[in-house]
Amino acid sequence: MPRLNVLVTAASRRVPLVRSFRAALASAGVTGRIVATDVNPWSPAVHVADAAYRVPLSTSPAYLDEIRQVCQRERIGLVVPTIDDELPVFAAAAASFARDGIRVAVSPYETTIVCNDKAETCRHLRWHGVAAAESFLPGELPAAPRFPLFIKPRTGRGSVGAFPVRNRRELDFFAAYVPDPVVQEYLEGPEFTLDVFCAFSGEVLAVVPRERVVIRAGVIDRGRTVRDPALIELGIACARALRFAGPINVQCRLTRHGPTVFEINPRFSGGIPLTIAAGADFPRWLVELTLGRPVAPAIGAFTDGLWMTSFEEAFFLPEAASAVLQDARAAAALPVP
């Protein structure tokens, strides 16, 4: 039976993703372990992984070296980055990981750089004829901008520091308050995430639109799948404008003029459990592709109108449970089992 060990980085609260990869190995007929890395021993996902390691933040010069040590120690075959900050870091190093027989589920470096800049993302899409929010840096705004507008950090995530702007006074205040802001046209209409999955060649294999009915801290709390041809076509158009590999999520609103993108994150979305439950098993497909198995396109092949309603789950751990997070540098000194 084939074996594949998977590393989920910055595991944090991504318990469903860790569990989904464990299920993916089983459904693909593969043995293996799910390993997590994080900076905090109390992050819940490290307590459901088969092994967990403490690593520095992705901004540290030592980050990749310690990730490599974990990969060697655990015989990792697939690395799954999960946060925007580390995507360019992994994309730049993906070829060197591949030489060691390790697949990194990350889009090309140029794509990660564009997508980490919300202003550049929308400009790039519009240049390629894809409907995207008109975006300005503060110094680029017209003398008489049309309100309302929307302002947020140019490189932020999780809806932190994002505000609607209704008049000049609010614009002046938030332009000074929000760090390195981008100002976008205000998009009216229901909000959707398009979960898109691409082969390592860039071919689009699936697009699953999800309406974000209730959102908490930037993550879907309640939502439903929607088989809308215009939304599906928008996801495909984004993948024509930018080359992707693995999972991405496109954030858009369905306006009266049609669906319009306001940002793209080339990684797993927080609402991926709904997409998986609807039949688009992105973790399993990543496992299959990593093993060199073919994955057929399944665009539109998911359960329409499937609702997800989320709730909090808690682990109750003794103080000693903090020891679950091994030190990557110390573990590297041990013999490989």
Give the mean pLDDT of the chain.
94
Q: Which of 9, 36, 52 is closest to 323 using CA atoms?
A: 52
Give the fold, CATH level 3, of 134-185: Dna Ligase; domain 1 (3.30.1490)
Q: Give the model's pLDDT for residue 212.
A: 94
Report how far residue 132's alpha carbon sits from residue 139's, in angstroms, rounded to the nearest whole number. Answer: 20
Concatenated DSSP letters for 34-65?
A: EEEEES-TT-GGGGTSSEEEE---TTSTTHHH
In this prediction, residue 265 carries a pLDDT of 97
Q: What is the pLDDT of residue 255?
A: 96
CA distance 236 to 220: 22
Q: What is the pLDDT of residues 68-81, one digit of tens each?
A: 999 999 999 999 99
Is the per-residue pLDDT at 195 higher than 90?
yes
- pTM of this structure: 0.94
Cα–Cα distance, 87 to 65 (Å, whole number): 15
CA gap 38, 295 in Å, rounded: 31
Query: Phi then psi for 205, rounded to 5 degrees?
Result: -105, -25
d(CA 25, CA 30): 5
- Equal CATH topology for 5-105+314-332 and 134-185: no
Cβ pair 303, 42 in contact under 8 A: no
330 pLDDT more than 80: no
Query: Is the domain 188-309 a CATH 3.30.470.20 member?
Result: yes
Q: Which of the four pLDDT bands, split at 50, 70 and 90, describes residue 111?
A: very high
Domain residue ranges of the chain, discontinuous segments joined by +: 5-105+314-332, 134-185, 188-309
DSSP state of 148: P
H or E element, residue 169? helix 168-177
- What is the predicted pLDDT for the residue at 9? 98
Segment 30-56, tens digit of pLDDT: 999 999 999 999 999 999 999 999 999
Question: Phi/psi of residue 189, each to 5°?
Answer: 135, 165
CATH class assigned to 5-105+314-332: alpha beta
**Model confidence at 210: pLDDT above 70:** yes
Would you tell me how many other CB atoms lie within 10 Å of the CB of residue 116? 20
